[in-house]
Structures are given as structure tokens and as C-alpha cells.
Amino acid sequence: MRALADFIMRGRMQAIVVVAASAALPMLFWLCAAAGSLVLLRRGLRDALGVLVWAVVPACIWWYFGDPRTLLVLLGSFGLAWLLRDQASWSRVMLCSVGLGLLYAWALGVVFGEPIAALATELQKVLPDMLSDAYQQLSTDEQARLGSLLTPVLTGLLAALLQIATVLSLMLGRYWQAVLYNPGGFGLEFRALRLSSLPAMLLLMGILLGPSLGVQMAMVAPLCSVPLVFAGVALLHGLVKQGRMARFWLVGFYVALVLFMQLVYPLLAVLAVVDSLFDFRGRASRDDDAGPADGEG
């Protein structure tokens, strides 16, 4: 990965080759977004736009053939990278990713509205078997409302996946920047990620109350969970770095995340909310040898 990052930063032509090729190839939209983010973070918006235009063309072609992921993640990661470069705040990046997720949800509804609705219809047919007695105890109106929530929830879940892919692409670009210009800087930044109490509570309310505020608001719940989950992961990494948890638990966490996603994911969100109130890591240390990940002071 370091060799690839070094190649990207050798010059404008090398960066164009990487972003254009990865945008044109299937399933490499994350690499395109990460490479573009690296250029923007290090060289600024003006140089990045000269690279971005070469990735937008194949991304638009993918959209024409029914796959908007490349263009959405590319533009989303550029927007978040610009925010990170300007304000150097991962918490603000995470919060802004929710708005980005809403745009993703709208785009997915436009492009994949019919397939998502068809999938929701099929899921509604198997709900009685999935929920068994619990479903039968619901009233007719409650069953109808549950069925009406499926389409927006599925749209929100798909948008949340793109939201996560966007944030991870930006993190990869920031990691490359730190590796090249300030080793250790990205780890310092990420472990300091913590949401303050008010935004964390608002996100929690979006998760818990979103579906009750309206059918379309149900798509907000998955989007609000993403910043909390990343903050929860940062909390665990911070505790391990401070020596308050053994590294073994971090390895076990990632294994559990893969095997028991449906249990670990909400637990991370809860940990982030609790940390926003009690700040388990304490105030971020300013005397670490590694400075900001951009390596510029």
C-alpha cells in the first residue's frame, strides 16, 4: 500500500492513472476515492480537481449502466476530504457523513427504487415465518406499518453501506498521507475521535425515534448509527493504546465483528454514546511525538 501511495504522489499523471483506472474497473471505486482523497489532503482542492475530472468520466459511465456507487463514493469522499483538510476534525467528518448518507439514499431511491421495493415485498412475505409468534401478536395496522417500513429501511441500509465505504476510503487516503509524511499521525487522530454529548444524543434519537416520526424517516436510523460505530471503534483503539485494555481484546473484537455483526454493531454505538458522556480516554494528549496526519505541523 505504501508503494501505491508513493506512486500516486509522484506526479499528476501518476495520480490520474490510478484514479481513472480504479474508477473504470469494477469493485475498485474505494481505491479511486482513497487515491483522490490523498491528492486533495496533501495538495489541496485545485490540484485534486484536475485529477477528479478524469475519474468522473468512467464513474458517470458506470451510473449510466445502473451502478451509481463509483460516482457517489468518489464525490462523497472528496467532500469529506476537503472538510478534513480545512478543519482537521474527524468528529465533524463523521457528523457530515450522515447528510452525505441522506444524499446517497435519495440517489439509490432514484436508481434502484423498483428493485428495492420488490425486495421489500418479498421480505414482507416471509416476515410471519421470521418473527413467528411475535408477528402474529401484532394488530393488522401494526403489521401494515411494519411492512411499510421495509422499503425506507432497506434504502437506508444500502445508503449506510455507501456511507461506510466513503469514510473508509477517506481513512485510507489519510493513512497513506500519514505513512508518507508523518508516520503514526493517522493513529493519533483516529484514537482521539470522540463525539460530544449533544451530537451523540441526537444521533441516538435518530436511531431510536426515526421510524416513529414517519415512514420515510426510518431510513435515517442506519445513517445515524455510522458515526457512533466509528467512534466506538476509536474508543477501543484508544483504550488499547493507553494500556487499559490488552491488545488481545482488540483482535477478539474484530473477529466478533465479522462473526456477530448484528450484536457487536449496536454495542459499539452504545459505547460511543456512553463515552460521549463520561470520556473514558480522558482529554487527548498533546505531547505525542506524532503530529497531525498531514505532516505539516
pLDDT at residue number 294: 65
Question: Per-residue DSSP letters for 255-287?
Answer: HHHHH-HHHHHHHHHHHHHHHHHH-TT-SPPS-
Residues whose CB falls within 8 Å of the CB of residue 193, separated by 6 or more in sequence, listed in order: 90, 91, 94, 230, 231, 234
Element (H, E) at 234: helix 220-241
How does residue 295 score in pLDDT terms, banded at 50, 70 and 90? low
pLDDT at residue number 287: 42
Instruction: Report, as an integer, the average pLDDT of 102-114.
Output: 93
pLDDT at residue number 260: 93
How does residue 223 score in pLDDT terms, banded at 50, 70 and 90? very high
Question: Rounded to whole angstroms, how far apart are CA atoms 220 and 197?
Answer: 19
User: For 53-62, 131-140, 182-191, which range has the lowest pLDDT when averaged over its residues?
Assistant: 131-140
pLDDT at residue number 292: 59
User: For 72-76, 82-86, 141-145, 173-177, which range has the lowest pLDDT when averaged over its residues?
Assistant: 141-145
Higher pLDDT, 203 or 149: 203
| Percent over 70 (pLDDT), the chain | 95
Give the CA distances from residue 65 to residues 59, 68, 159, 170, in Å, rounded to whole numbers and listed in that order: 10, 9, 19, 26
Question: Rounded to whole angstroms, how far apart are CA atoms 33 and 166?
Answer: 8
Higher pLDDT, 157 or 128: 157
How does residue 135 score in pLDDT terms, banded at 50, 70 and 90? confident
pLDDT at residue number 168: 97
Is the pTM higher than 0.85?
A: yes
Condensed to tens digits (0 to 9), the pLDDT of residues 256-289 reads: 999 999 999 999 999 999 999 999 888 544 444 4
pLDDT at residue number 284: 42
Instruction: Report, as an integer, the average pLDDT of 194-202.
Output: 95
Nearest to 183 by CA among 33, 297, 292: 292
The 3-state DSSP class for residue 192 equals coil
pLDDT at residue number 291: 56
pLDDT at residue number 130: 78
Average pLDDT of the chain, as a whole number: 90
Q: Is the dihedral angle over the CA atoms 213, 219, 222, 225 positive or is it negative?
A: negative
Condensed to tens digits (0 to 9), the pLDDT of residues 137-193 reads: 777 787 788 888 889 999 999 999 999 999 999 999 999 999 999 999 999 999 999
Higher pLDDT, 129 or 80: 80
pLDDT at residue number 296: 57
Instruction: Report, as an integer, the average pLDDT of 23-31.
Output: 94
Instruction: Report, as an integer, the average pLDDT of 112-137.
Output: 83
